[in-house]
A = this chain, B = another copy of it.
Amino acid sequence: MPRYAFFGPVGTFSEAALRTVVPDAPAEAMPSVDATIEAVRTGAVDVGCVPIENSVEGGVPATLDGLAVGEPLVVVAEVVLPVSFVLAALPGTALADVRRVSTHSHAYAQVRHRLHRELPGVSYVPATSTAASAAALAAERDGGPAAGFEGAVCAPFAARRFGLDVLAERIEDRAGAQTRFVLLSRPGAVPERTGDDKTSLVLFLREERPGALVEALEQFVTRGINLTRIESRPAGDALGRYCFSIDCDGHLQDARVGEALMGLHRVCERVRFVGSYPRADGGHAVLGSGPTDAAFARAQDWLEHLRAGGA
């Protein structure tokens, strides 16, 4: 049975994401994205669940960089969750009692306007995660030290997990935000092709010059492959050197993806394959004029026919 870990503590969105895939399997809460990734690398666990991208904040640097450098890891599944926060408190707390609110600074950024409108004068206490603020309230209830605040801004999942009351739901300033999580694994069998898959890569360009990036992206375009995400990340220690984290439509087993990968291998300094897995973001592959496997097979047959002296 595979062992699981997630970016903890218990009650985070990352745990919620993992639970949509394995509702009941034992899973370890790790203190950071880095620690989660490292646990997969060392073999302490087999699968780690971490956030990779948020529709408001953008890419999660620790995850992107964990996939780009160090021992190779691959994405074996993705989960997309709506980002929605609740204001949780110990049972018996009234909304008016909440004068101090704690949460992670990223979450605070997303609820700030609403919070200050509903609770004028409320003060903010930083926490290491949204779940940590919920956990601190639960600890106070269970005889631990005073949390130092009355309200925790956390995932609905965390409020349930820690037995807190929900004073207000959907308190995010901007509705509709989503976070994409990935389940990471050491390389091994690639998930089966489903026909609606994505492939993730990291490209390190050979040199800095006008057109180097375009030359690499042409490898997708000439094969009709749609890019669904492209993100530059710092490569090395100084500014001005980047690698590119890329998701495209299609699966490693698709002929056109295979040929694009080979093309990238030839024109890039280095290419890291970071997994092919079923899409879970509600989108569908944009086919463009991209040739099908059948068209690839016909072209291959034709070439072999020619090489055998045919016409």
A residues apposed to B, CB below 8 Å:
34, 53-59, 61-62, 64, 72, 74, 80, 105, 109, 126-128, 174-178, 180, 187-190, 208-211, 213-215, 217-234, 236-240, 242, 252-253, 258-259, 261-263, 265-267, 272-273, 281, 283, 286, 288-291, 295-296, 298-300, 302-303, 306-307, 309-311
Contacts and interface: CB of A to CB of B under 8 A. Distances in A.
Given A189-B309, A281-B240, A234 B266 contact: no
B174 A239 contact: no
Contacts of A175: 237
B53 A57 contact: no
A37 to B, nearest CB: 13
B299 A266 contact: yes
A237 B83 CA distance: 11
Contact of A266 (B80, B128, B189, B296): B296
Contacts of A55: 234, 236-239
Contact of A258 (B58, B221, B307): B307
Contact of A225 (B62, B210, B261, B311): B210
Contact of A310 (B174, B187, B208, B258): B187
Nearest to A263: B222
Nearest to A189: B309
A126 B32 CA distance: 14
B53 A239 contact: yes
Contacts of A105: 105, 128
A57 B227 CA distance: 23
22 contacts: A53-B234, A55-B238, A57-B234, A58-B59, A58-B232, A177-B237, A178-B237, A187-B311, A190-B307, A208-B226, A209-B288, A210-B221, A211-B288, A213-B230, A215-B222, A218-B218, A222-B222, A230-B230, A231-B232, A240-B281, A240-B283, A262-B300
